Structure formats: C-alpha cells, structure tokens
Amino acid sequence: MAKLLSQKKHNYFRPPVLEEVLSCKVDPKRPEDVAVIDEIMQRVGLANVAPSTRRKLQGLLASFLLQAARLEGRRVQYGEALIIGWPHSKGYWRGRSEVGYSVAKQLREALVQAGWITYKLEAQINLHDGEGNCSGYLIRGDIPAIGQSMRFVSSDLVSEIRIGKKKGRKGKAQAPVEVRDPKRQKMAEAREASRIKGIWKRWAQHPYVVGNVTMTNAQRVFNNADMTRNGRLYGAWTNMKKEQRLKGKIDGMAVAEVDVSGMNLTLLSAMSGEPSFPREFDDPYACGWNDRKQVKAYINEMIGAGYHMRWKDGKMCQKVGLTKESLKLLRDEFVLPAFPCLKLLKKGVLDALALAYHESEIMLRVVEGLDVPAYILHDCLICRAVDSDLVGSKLQEVFSWYCRENGWAVVLPAYTIEQADTEKKSGMGRVA
C-alpha cells in the first residue's frame, strides 16, 4: 500500500515529513515547454489573467510539475503517495519570490477545481523551515508524466535574499527582530542582494544541469534582520539526493562534490583559540569512540541545541542507536574531554544558525575567489570533477584567511572529494 508520508526505518515516533513543499524555483525552459504551461493554464481556467500574474503562474506551475515528477520518483522507489505540501500562510510566500500568497492560492484553487490535486493531509507546521501551516495535497497519478517530459531552468522570479523568521520554542516562528534604522537595513539588504546576483551571473555562464533541470541561482536565507544568523543558500539542487546530484554536469563535464569534514566542529575549534585536532588530521570527529556516526550525530545535536551538556537523545542520536545511558558515557568520557571547544556553545548566540553564517561566508568567498565554477550546498561545493583538487585547496586557503580575519586559531579543514562511480578521496586537515 502506498504510504502517505515519508517513513524512516526507525522504531521511534517522529512527526510526518513532507518530502516536497511547493516553492517557486524554476521556469519552463524552451518555447515548447512554455506552450505546455500555457495549455495547462487554459485547461484549468487560468487563461484570462493579467500578464504579470500569468508570468508568476507560469513559474509556480512549472515548479509544481517539477516537484510532482520528483515525488513520482519517490513513489516508484519507496512506494510513497504523491503528496505535495502546499503552504497556506502569507508569511511563507512573502520574500521567497515574486510569487505571492494570492497567486499561490489562485493556482491551488484552480488545480483542486480541475481535479489535479485533492486535499489529503490536514494543515501542519511546515517542517521544511518551521514557518506557517502547510497542508498536503494528493497529486493525480497522470500529472507527474507532464513534468518528466519537460525541461526547466532556474526562475528569475526568485529573490536573491530572504530574511526569514526566528524560531521559538518547539519550532514556532517568531517575527524578525525590529529594525531600528530601516534606511540602513535596506541598504545592507541591497548590498547583499547585489552580491548574490553577482554569484548568479557567474553561474549563468556555467549552468549546473541535472536531468531536465538547468540551475543557475540559489536564494540566501537569513534568520535575523542583522543578517548574522543562517545565511545558507537554497537552490533547486538543495533537496536532491547525492546520487542524483553527482549525475549532473557543468559545461557538459562530470561533477564532483568537495565536502568539508565536520564544518561546525572545525569552526568551533578554531574559535576556541586552542584547536582540538592534531597537527594533521583527516577525521575531526576522532575521539576514541568506536562509532563515528554516533559521535557526529551527538555533536550535531549538541550544536543544534546550543548546549554542550545536552543529555537528550534526539532524532539523530536515536537513528544511530544511542541511548540516554550510552549518550552520557559518550559525552562525559569522550566528546567533552576531546573537544573542549563545545563549551563555547550558547543558544541564540553561538549555535547552529550562528555557525551556518560563518560557513556560508566562507563558501561564498571560495566561489568568488575561484576562476572555475562551483555551486554551494551548505558545507559542500559542487564543481567540475577536473577542478576538484583546485577547489579543495582554495577552500582551505579561504578558511585559513577567515580564521585570521576573525582572530581565531588558524585551521585548514579536512575535506573529501566524491564523484560518481569513483573512489572517494580525502584532503588532510592541518592546524597552522
């Protein structure tokens, strides 16, 4: 029987996760793809709209068809139902793109009326980023084939940056911090938007193509008005599986992923002034515990909580088999003695979102300093495989510059290079 939601292979309870939540990411690429979109709009009663609304509906409908095709892939592989999350809150749509709440509502109502989607899941918090309500709609079985036969390109409706909402307790969204000087804030946002647009221009010269999707942009998302928390970039490739991403091409050439090993732990270690690693290292999580996945899971949960004495066994810890008893032993006898830098953690001050800002700054500077194309995926860079060694070296160079600029101990991070059907390579980290 088809599953309504993604269900992981763990025996502990977890809330439902919608694998695809609608967002305007792409446009139809070719004239024939635009013709398909226009024909659909005619069939569902959206032909007689203003030109500006038509343009927005084209982008959102194209994104819907792409996400429907992705869900079909999950249905075939995992037996999941074709359920897409459709956010209902105005806050979700604000700032993501030029497509606003009213256009999203207009498309949803038209697709429901035409029988393309059917309400299936009651509204729940949008688990993608904790903002607003998100209902689940079952997509009619013949719809994904439309998207599978089309080609898509990154949409120019997407905004360069977005100031998201702070997350309160239990993931509840709170309003952004009030801006004291709106004029200065607007200027700061314009500078950052211009910077991201410059990255997009670089990418447009060397598009990243995966299957039927040509990608050239990603939105930078901050979680506070000062733009010092989060700052990661989110593009059409962000939610793709690694196997799919590695099948992509840049300039028609095979790609590789240059992935920092233990980015957050390496940042904290540098910030502490006394790095926790030996002079040369390949695994920043090495601490004497025999299960690396458990060490990584616990440290990541600790960083997420912003508290070095975390005792709860959360989802990541449960997934790798840690109990409260083994977690306490791991924390007290291995992790804290090996990584005193974790004591720097403080919720809302130095936690996952604060570290994500530094990570994103480093990755942006790498891309800006390279003469070859590289796409950012959090603590990873997607580049042409022939450039992967160069990108790894540049990554270490920029990381060390960033350490000096901030007055931290200088650390060059360890990293891995992974390519489809090729053995993974490692780059050694060093403490300067």
13, pLDDT greater than 70: no
Res. 3 pLDDT band, cuts 50 70 90: very low
In a 10 Å sphere around its CB, with 0-12 CB exposed, 13-18 middle and 19+ buried, how is residue 281 labelled?
buried
* 148 and 129 inside one domain: yes
* 149 and 165 inside one domain: no
Q: How far apart are CA 294 and CA 330, in angstroms?
A: 9
In a domain, 314, yes or no: no
**Please, what is the average pLDDT of the chain?**
91
139, pLDDT greater than 70: yes
In a domain, 273, yes or no: no
Determine the pLDDT at residue 216. Answer: 98
State the residue range of the domain holding 138. 26-154
* 374 and 424 inside one domain: yes
In a domain, 305, yes or no: no
Query: How many domains does the chain fold into?
Result: 2
In a domain, 308, yes or no: no
* 77 and 206 inside one domain: no
Its pTM surpasses 0.85: yes
Q: How far apart are CA 417 and CA 425, in angstroms?
A: 5
* Site of tokens 């446009």: 27
Determine the pLDDT at residue 324. Answer: 87
In a domain, 148, yes or no: yes
* 31 and 65 inside one domain: yes
Tokens for 41? Answer: 């709009």
* 49 and 106 inside one domain: yes
Q: How many CB atoms lie within 10 A of CB 322?
A: 24
CA nearest neighbour of 267 among 167, 363, 129: 363
Give the H or E element holding residue 117. Answer: strand 117-125
Model confidence pLDDT, tens digit, residues 45-68? 999 999 999 999 999 999 999 999
Determine the pLDDT at residue 134. Answer: 86
Model confidence pLDDT, tens digit, residues 233-289? 999 999 899 999 999 999 999 999 999 999 999 999 999 999 999 999 999 999 999
DSSP 37-105: HHHHHHHTT-SS--HHHHHHHHHHHHHHHHHHHHHHHHHHHH-B--EEEEE--HHHHTTTBS--HHHHH
* 48 and 193 inside one domain: no
* 40 and 140 inside one domain: yes
* 253 and 362 inside one domain: yes
* 54 and 134 inside one domain: yes
Residues 3-19, mean pLDDT to the nearest whole number:
48
Share of the chain above pLDDT 90, in %: 83
Q: Distance of CA 179 to CAs 160, 164, 261, 296, 354, Å?
A: 20, 14, 36, 37, 19
Model confidence pLDDT, tens digit, residues 326-357? 999 999 999 999 999 999 999 999 999 999 99
* 167 and 257 inside one domain: yes
Task: Please state whether 344 falls in left (phi above 0), alpha (psi between -120 and 50) or beta.
Answer: alpha
Share of the chain above pLDDT 70, in %: 90
Tokens for 261? Answer: 């090993």
Determine the pLDDT at residue 402. Answer: 98
Q: How far apart are CA 139 and CA 260, in angstroms?
A: 38
In a domain, 413, yes or no: yes
Determine the pLDDT at residue 180. Answer: 63
Give the H or E element holding residue 263. Answer: helix 263-272
In a domain, 187, yes or no: yes
In a domain, 131, yes or no: yes
Determine the pLDDT at residue 14. Answer: 43
* 165 and 150 inside one domain: no
Q: Are 41 and 62 spatial neighbours (Cβ–Cβ below 8 Å)?
A: no
Determine the pLDDT at residue 310. Answer: 83
Q: Go through 64-75 and write b for each residue having 16 or more CB atoms within 10 A of its CB, e for each that does not.
A: bbbbbbbbbebb
Determine the pLDDT at residue 165. Answer: 65
